[in-house]
């Protein structure tokens, strides 16, 4: 079926804006202790806190003490955090300064007087029963310390006391100490709220000196500085093909290739739009970046297939990585180089490819410093970074694949895994299934990472740890074609697709829109047969479509884009969603619904597991009728409500029996997605449902032709961000992009025009997306 109908933007109406209403609940949670249990818990905490008080009393410096509290697993929700803050507050100040992991918080205590104030509360279990029941254990905070037996560059992070003046004073004290002790160091600002120090060529004596001084009380982490390496070699193929040249008078998008350089061979020279590097040529060997650039410029031609549909993408040689045989290279060097080049060229280059990883697995309880730096840079420069998930060679030894590399936990980036585009004899992965080397998620705090996948090759092993790469043709040094496998080479396919999209959409560059469009277009290859949670761990939301398929609809479907900002205290309730009458069959609504919500979560690096500080919820469904509400009541702010509403994006709405009978359908294998996100702060959420799979009871209750349809969006914020916004007097909000597709699976109904008519009937502003008229549309 022809795809010639452009996807549409639409906007909410004034009547769709709602204010959040209060709903007080004085009932105590079920986990709150009483009687002997409560007394015993208070006594135990008192004993533990006495040790803290004794330690503070014998302290010989003025640095605040930091302690930890392990939370009751039933008390992790935001609704309990205010009680926890109350227990540990001092002098009217919130002393909770961060998290070590999901259940462990960090608390600052400025002195013995404040410690005694906190203990007084713990000794009053009847008055503070709720607060005490939230805490299971109290102890001293211990910095992360990893020693090396050799002379190393060490990475040091200082504790963030959540006080600007204190942090600045202690940073100066730390730097003065290093100068006094003649310890060489380098300071790198990973983000506005994260400074990292590198001690240069420090031995164990230097670490011992730090540990025995008051400076140790300022530190959160002392570890060897992570090194950066490139992995997986290549095999030459000897294939020859013709050189392509850019056409005159055509506009080309540019992908910045953050790598170890791009060789000016005959194939790539015409496609290199410029270059920047902090390194002289004699310490650069562009072996890896050349192959990455070739995928961006020649990917479809090398494979002889339209994977991306890119013909208007050039590359920018951003050499951020030297030849490590000639010059040492650490995490902070990489971050500083990336920041310098992206900041310099972000006005003209909006898509950046980063196929380099810190070869350390992510921590499930906190986001890496590399990820924090990448997120901060993208916010600052309004760019989108496509980041590789990382490679793992465990398969060569018969071991399970490892988790994502640091940097692949970046929230703002599009993180890319790999699937195999072909399978030769003895290859370890079947065609269109995860490549044997692709690292897996989820990311920290359970977020979906990688975001998506593309073709990155295959591999086979000789049984003795030797690896042969197959299936991914690239252009290497000297212009020779080579087979190269890795997430390094699936990532540039996504970068090229993102750049082509940004070039073809004649709107102001919007990284949130590009990210949402790519994820919304994703399908799972039918060959992937694994449980939903495993499927998302390996492949995220799947493999995206080509440019023309993303930007255009067929008559039997329509794609609507709602791009807006949602402020704290507000929600959106569109009670006249334009569900077309043509989807009514035999008296019941039918059709497939695919919805993707991507939002810019408020990010706070100091909060560890709770780095993502805001959440958005999406509900879409039917209701009986609008109702008038009594706004004279104190808790009612919105004059119109809806009766009999039902969210159709819930797993419980659907029949397992019906889904089982349709498991061989194209939709079931490639699109059906019903992740129950619950109260988790996922910055990307996607749903794909088929109304023909609804339970018989729900069909009768909620899909009859007399129903109205609604679209609902709300936002929540963690306690830390709410307190910070109050203290600094700013409004919390989050930008979002919601994309929703309605489709008639039979291909017979004119859904596109049906929805357009309803948009007009209900007085919605709407507009076709502005696109390049020269896009080639695949039929």
Instruction: For residue 442, say if its preceding peptide bond is cis, omega within 30 degrees of 0.
Output: yes
The rounded percent of the chain whose pLDDT value lies above 90 is 75
Distance in angstroms (rounded) separating the CA atoms of residues 633 and 434: 56
pLDDT > 90? residue 529:
no
Residue 705 has pLDDT above 80, yes or no: yes
HSE toward the beta carbon, residue 27, CA cutoff 13 A: 5
**pLDDT of 233 over the 50 cut:** no
CA distance 321 to 373: 17
Give the H or E element holding residue 458: strand 458-461
Alpha-helical regions (H) of 570-704 = 656-661, 666-670, 696-702
SS3 helix, strand, coil % of the chain, rounded to 5?
A: 30, 30, 40
- How many angstroms separate the CA atoms of 257 and 319, rounded? 8
- The rounded distance, in Å, linking the Cα atoms of 454 and 457 is 9
**Is the C-alpha dihedral spanning 659, 665, 667, 672 positive or negative?**
positive
Residue owning tokens 């918080």:
105
C-alpha count within 13 angstroms, C-beta hemisphere, residue 413 = 30
DSSP state letters, 333-400: HHHHHHHHHHHHHTTT--EEEE--EEEEEPBTTB--HHHHHHHHHHHHHT-EEEEE--B--GGGGT-P
pLDDT of residue 711: 98
Q: What is the structure's pLDDT at 779?
A: 32
Contact 436, 429 (CB under 8 A): yes
Q: Please tell me what DSSP assigns to residue 260.
A: S
* Residue corresponding to tokens 């409500």: 641
Sign of CA dihedral 549, 550, 552, 558: positive
H-type alpha helices, 455-573: 487-504, 511-520, 532-539, 547-551
Q: What would the pLDDT profile of 122-131 be if each residue is shown by its tens digit?
A: 999 999 999 9
Among 704, 700, 612, CA closest to 655:
700
Q: What is the pLDDT of residue 164?
A: 92
CA 217 to chain centroid: 32
The CA distance from 311 to 619, in Å, is 38
Say yes or no to pLDDT of 31 above 80. Answer: yes
SS3 call for 621: strand
* Residue range 449-465, pLDDT digits in tens: 999 999 999 988 877 76
**Is pLDDT above 80 for 25?**
no
Q: Are 228 and 334 in contact (CB under 8 A)?
A: yes
- The per-residue pLDDT for 238 is 61
pLDDT at 403 over 70: yes
pLDDT above 80 for 327 = no
pLDDT (0 to 100) of residue 664: 72
- Between residues 229 and 552, which one has the greater pLDDT? 552
- Greater confidence, 544 or 637? 544
Residue-wise pLDDT for 253-308, tens only, equals 999 999 999 999 999 999 999 999 999 999 999 999 999 999 999 988 888 888 88
Tell me the HSE value of 196 on the side-chain side, using a 13 A CA sphere: 29
Q: Rounded distance, CA 508 to CA 499, Å?
A: 13
Task: Give the angle 356-360-362 at the CA atoms, nearest 5°.
Answer: 100
User: Are 485 and 459 spatial neighbours (Cβ–Cβ below 8 Å)?
Assistant: yes
Per-residue pLDDT tens over the stretch 651-685: 999 999 988 888 777 787 778 887 777 778 999 99
Rg (CA), the chain: 28
| Strands 313-319, 253-259: pairing kind | parallel
Residues 153-168, mean pLDDT to the nearest whole number:
95
**Helices assigned H by DSSP within 637-691:** 656-661, 666-670
Closest by CA to 310, choosing from 503, 488, 538, 125, is: 503
Cα separation of 571 and 625, whole Å? 20
Kindly tell me if the per-residue pLDDT of 776 is higher than 70: no
Instruction: Report how far residue 189's alpha carbon sits from residue 187's, in angstroms, rounded to the nearest whole number.
Output: 7
Q: State the Cα angle at 38 between 35 and 43, rounded to 5°.
A: 125
Mean pLDDT over each residue of the chain, to the nearest integer: 91
pLDDT of residue 232: 46
What pLDDT shows up at residue 675?
A: 76
Contact 742, 582 (CB under 8 A): no
Token digits for 577?
């969603």
Q: Are 596 and 686 in contact (CB under 8 A)?
A: yes
Alpha-carbon span 513 to 100, nearest angstrom = 33
Considering only residues 228 and 214, tell me which one the structure prediction assigns the higher pLDDT.
214
Residues 6 or more apart whose CB falls under 8 angstroms from that of 308 comprise 299, 300, 493, 496, 497, 500, 546, 547
pLDDT in tens, 335-386: 999 999 999 999 999 999 999 888 889 999 999 999 999 999 999 999 999 9
Q: What would the pLDDT profile of 215-228 be if each residue is shown by its tens digit?
A: 999 999 999 998 88
């Amino acid at each position: 079926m022809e795809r010639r109908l452009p996807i549409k933007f639409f906007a909410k109406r004034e009547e769709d804006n709602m204010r959040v209403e209060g709903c007080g609940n004085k009932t105590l949670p079920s986990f709150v202790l009483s009687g002997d249990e409560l007394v015993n818990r208070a006594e135990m905490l008192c004993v533990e806190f006495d040790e803290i008080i004794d330690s503070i009393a014998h302290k010989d410096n003025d640095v605040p003490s930091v302690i930890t509290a392990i939370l009751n697993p039933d008390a992790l929700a935001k609704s309990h955090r205010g009680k926890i803050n109350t227990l540990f507050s001092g002098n009217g100040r919130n002393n909770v300064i961060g998290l070590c992991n999901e259940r462990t918080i960090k608390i600052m205590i400025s002195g013995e007087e404040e410690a005694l104030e906190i203990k007084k509360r713990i000794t009053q279990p009847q008055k503070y029963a709720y607060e005490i029941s939230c805490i299971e254990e109290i102890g001293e905070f211990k910095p992360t310390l990893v020693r090396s037996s050799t002379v190393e560059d060490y990475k040091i992070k200082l504790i963030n006391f959540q006080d600007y003046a204190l942090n600045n004073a202690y940073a100066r004290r730390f730097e003065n100490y290093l100068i006094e002790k003649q310890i060489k160091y380098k300071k790198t600002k990973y983000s506005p709220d994260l400074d990292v120090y590198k001690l240069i060529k420090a031995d164990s004596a230097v670490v011992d000196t730090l540990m025995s001084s008051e400076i140790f009380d300022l530190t959160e982490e002392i570890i060897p500085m992570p090194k950066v390496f490139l992995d997986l070699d290549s095999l030459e193929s000897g294939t020859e093909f013709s050189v392509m040249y850019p056409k005159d008078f055509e506009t080309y998008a540019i992908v910045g290739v953050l790598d170890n350089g791009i060789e000016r061979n005959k194939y790539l020279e015409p496609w290199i739009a410029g270059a920047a590097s902090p390194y002289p040529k004699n310490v650069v060997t562009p072996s890896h970046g050349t192959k990455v650039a070739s995928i961006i410029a020649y990917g479809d031609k090398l494979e002889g297939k339209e994977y991306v549909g890119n013909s208007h993408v050039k590359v920018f040689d951003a050499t951020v990585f030297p030849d490590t045989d000639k010059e040492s290279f650490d995490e902070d060097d990489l971050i500083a180089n990336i920041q310098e080049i992206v900041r310099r060229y972000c006005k003209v280059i909006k898509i950046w490819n980063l196929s380099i990883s810190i070869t350390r697995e992510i921590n499930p309880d906190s986001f890496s410093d590399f990820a924090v730096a990448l997120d901060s840079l993208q916010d600052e420069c309004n760019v989108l970074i496509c980041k590789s998930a990382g490679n793992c060679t465990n398969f060569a030894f018969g071991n399970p694949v490892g988790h994502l590399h640091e940097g692949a936990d970046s929230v703002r980036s599009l993180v890319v895994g790999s699937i195999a585009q072909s399978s030769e004899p003895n290859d370890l992965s079947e065609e269109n299934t995860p490549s044997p080397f692709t690292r897996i998620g989820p990311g920290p705090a359970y977020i979906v990472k990688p975001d998506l996948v593309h073709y990155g090759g295959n591999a086979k092993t000789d049984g003795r740890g030797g690896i042969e790469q197959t299936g991914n043709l690239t252009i290497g040094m000297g212009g020779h074609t080579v087979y190269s496998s890795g997430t390094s080479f699936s990532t540039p396919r996504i970068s090229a697709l993102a750049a082509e999209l940004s070039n073809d959409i004649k709107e102001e560059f919007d990284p949130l829109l590009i990210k949402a469009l790519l994820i919304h277009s994703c399908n799972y290859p039918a060959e992937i047969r694994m449980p939903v949670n495993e499927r998302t761990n390996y492949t995220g939301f799947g493999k995206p479509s080509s440019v023309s398929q993303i930007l255009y609809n067929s008559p039997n479907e329509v794609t609507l884009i709602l791009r807006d900002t949602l402020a704290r205290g507000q929600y959106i309730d569109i009670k006249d969603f334009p569900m077309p009458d043509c989807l009514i069959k035999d008296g019941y609504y039918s059709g497939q619904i695919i919805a993707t919500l991507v939002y810019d979560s408020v990010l706070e690096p100091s909060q560890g597991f709770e780095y993502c500080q805001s959440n958005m919820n999406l509900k879409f469904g039917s209701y009986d009728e609008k109702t008038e509400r009594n706004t004279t009541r104190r808790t009612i702010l919105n004059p119109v409500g809806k009766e009999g509403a039902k969210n159709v994006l819930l797993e419980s709405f659907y029949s397992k029996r019906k889904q089982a009978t349709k498991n061989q359908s194209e939709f079931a294998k490639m699109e059906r997605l019903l992740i129950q996100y619950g109260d988790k702060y996922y910055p990307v959420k996607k749903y794909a449902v088929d109304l023909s799979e609804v339970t018989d009871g729900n069909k009768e209750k909620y899909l009859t032709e007399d129903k109205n349809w609604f679209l609902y969006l709300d936002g929540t914020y963690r306690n830390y961000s709410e307190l910070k916004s109050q203290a600094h007097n700013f409004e919390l909000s989050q930008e979002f992009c919601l994309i929703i597709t309605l489709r008639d699976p039979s291909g017979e109904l004119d859904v596109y025009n049906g929805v357009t008519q309803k948009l007009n009937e209900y007085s919605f502003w709407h507009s076709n997306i502005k696109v390049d008229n020269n896009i080639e549309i695949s039929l």
